[in-house]
Amino acid sequence: MHRVTLIPGDGIGPEVTRAAREIVDASGAALEWEIAEAGMATGNAGGLPLPPAVFDSIASTGVVLKGPTQTPFGEPYPVQVGDRVYPSVAIALRKELKLFVNVRPARNYPGIRSRFENVDIVIFRENSEDLYVADERMVDADTAEAVKRITRGASERVTRFAFDYMQRTGRRNLTAVHKSNVLKLTDGLFLQSAQTVAKSHRAFGFDTRVIDALCMELVTRPEAFDCLVLPNLYGDIVSDLAAGLVGGLGVAPGANIGEACAMFEAVHGSAPDIAGQDRANPMAMILSAVMLLRYVGEDAAANRIDAALLAVLKDGRQLTRDLGGSAGTRGMTQAIVENMNRQPAGRNG
C-alpha cells in the first residue's frame, strides 16, 4: 500500500483533487490518502499557510498530490517555514522538499481542440534557483532589482534527470534553452552545463535554442520538439505556453521530483473566478495523479485511467466548458469512473 499526502489547496483545488482521488480509488491502485491542509484558506482560518503537519506527513509518505494554493497578488504574503520565508506555498514546498526538477508534459489529446496537431513535448524546468530565489530589493524609491542565480550543480542535475527520463520513456531529443547571448554568465553557465552532460549521453539527440527563438518556433512548428530543459523562469513561462498549444491550462499536468520525495500538481492555479461552481476541468489534476501512479510503480492503474480518460475525451459528451462541453467537474469525473468500471478486468494490467 502506497501512502500519499493529499493537499486539497485553495479555489478549485478541493474540487479537482477530489475528482483525481475518486478516479485513482476506482482504478484499483493500492493507495492510501493522508489529507494535509495548506494554502490561503488555512492561513485565513488562523493557522499558518503551510503548517509543520504538512511536512510531517510528507516525511512519512514521500509522495504528494497537491491542489493549487492561492497567493494574493501585489501584496506581501510571506510563507514562513522555520526561519525561512518564501513568496508562496508552492515555492516553499518545492524548496523545502528539494524538488529540483519540474516535469511538465504537453501533448495533444483526441477531442480537445487546439491549433496544432502532433504536439508531444516534455518540459524539464529547473526548480530550485534562477530568479525564483526571490532575492529582491529596492535600490532607491524608483529602482528595484532581483538576483538571478544559476549554479553548475543544479544545471547539470536537471539535464541528467532529463536524459534519464528520456531513457526510461523512449524519448529521443533534448533541447537546452537559454539567453546566453545577453546573460553570458548566468545563462552561459546553464548552457555550458547542459552541453557538458549531453557529451556523456550521445545516444540522444541534443541541440540548443535561444529562448526568444524557441518561443517563435513553438508557435509555428511545435511538433518539431521532443524534450526541453530550461532554467526556472523560462521553464515556467514556456510550460504555460506549451499548455496553450494543446488546449489550455486545464489539460496540463506536472511533477516536481527530488531525491527523497515527489510532488504532483497541475500547472494551473486556484482559478478563484470559477471556484466552487463545478466548472473546473479536472483533467490536469487527473493526469498529475497518473504521473504519481507511474512514479510509485502503479502502472496498471495509470494505464486504466489513461484509457478511460481518452475514451471520455473521444466520446465528447461529458467535457467541461473549457473543453467545449457543458458538463461539470463532477459529471466528467463520473464519466471517467464509469468508463473504468466498464473496462474488462485486468485490461492494460
Instruction: By CB under 6 A, tell whether 270 contacts ligand NAD.
Output: yes
- Which residue from 239, 154, 148 is spatially nearest to 197, judged by alpha carbons? 154
Amino acid present at 329: T
233 or 300: CB nearest ligand NAD: 233
95 or 178: CB nearest ligand NAD: 95
Q: How far is the CB of 312 from ligand NAD (least distance, A)?
A: 15
CB 208 within 8 A of CB 195: yes
Instruction: By CB under 6 A, tell whether 218 contacts ligand NAD.
Output: no
57 or 175: CB nearest ligand NAD: 57
If you count DSSP H runs as helices and E runs as strands, how many of each does the chain have, helices first?
Answer: 11, 14
Q: How far is the CB of 346 from ligand NAD (least distance, A)?
A: 32
The residue sitting closest to ligand NAD, measured at its beta carbon, is 269
CB 247 within 8 A of CB 313: no
Q: How many CB atoms lie within 10 A of CB 296?
A: 18
Question: Is beta strand 99-107 parallel, antiparallel or unpaired with respect to 255-258?
Answer: antiparallel
Alpha-helix residue ranges (DSSP H) falling in the chain: 13-26, 40-44, 52-61, 89-96, 152-169, 186-199, 211-218, 232-245, 283-295, 299-315, 329-342
Rounded distance, CA 137 to CA 149, Å? 15
Q: How far is the CB of 320 from ligand NAD (least distance, A)?
A: 6
**x/- site string to ligand NAD, residues 81 to 120, per CB under 6 A?**
---------x------------------------------
Instruction: By CB under 6 A, tell whether 271 contacts ligand NAD.
Output: yes
CB 314 within 8 A of CB 45: no
- Which residue from 66, 50, 6 is spatially nearest to 285, judged by alpha carbons? 66
CB 284 within 8 A of CB 267: yes
| Cell 457543458, located at residue | 326
Report residue 204 as a C-alpha cell.
540522444
Q: Give the range of 30-38, 49-57, 64-72, 136-144 binding ligand NAD by CB under 6 A.
A: 64-72
Q: How far is the CB of 103 from ligand NAD (least distance, A)?
A: 14
Q: Which residues contact 230 (CB under 8 A, 6 or more apart)?
A: 123, 124, 125, 126, 176, 177, 211, 238
CB 286 within 8 A of CB 23: yes
Instruction: By CB under 6 A, tell whether 253 contacts ligand NAD.
Output: no
187 or 322: CB nearest ligand NAD: 322
Q: How far is the CB of 275 from ligand NAD (least distance, A)?
A: 9
Instruction: By CB under 6 A, tell whether 336 contacts ligand NAD.
Output: no
Q: How many CB atoms lie within 10 A of CB 112?
A: 19
Instruction: By CB under 6 A, tell whether 287 contacts ligand NAD.
Output: no
Q: How far is the CB of 264 from ligand NAD (least distance, A)?
A: 11
Instruction: By CB under 6 A, tell whether 280 contacts ligand NAD.
Output: yes
Bridge partners of 227, per DSSP, are 122, 174
- Choosing from 322, 325, 332, 337, the residue that interacts with ligand NAD (CB under 6 A) is 322
Q: Give the range of 113-121, 143-151, 219-227, 272-280 binding ligand NAD by CB under 6 A.
A: 272-280
Q: How many residues of this chain bind ligand NAD (CB under 6 A)?
A: 21
Site for ligand NAD in 222-251 (CB under 6 A): 249-250
Q: How far is the CB of 18 from ligand NAD (least distance, A)?
A: 13
**x/- site string to ligand NAD, residues 6 to 45, per CB under 6 A?**
------x---x-----------------------------
Q: Which residues bind ligand NAD (CB under 6 A)?
A: 12, 16, 68-71, 90, 249-250, 265, 268-274, 280-281, 284, 322
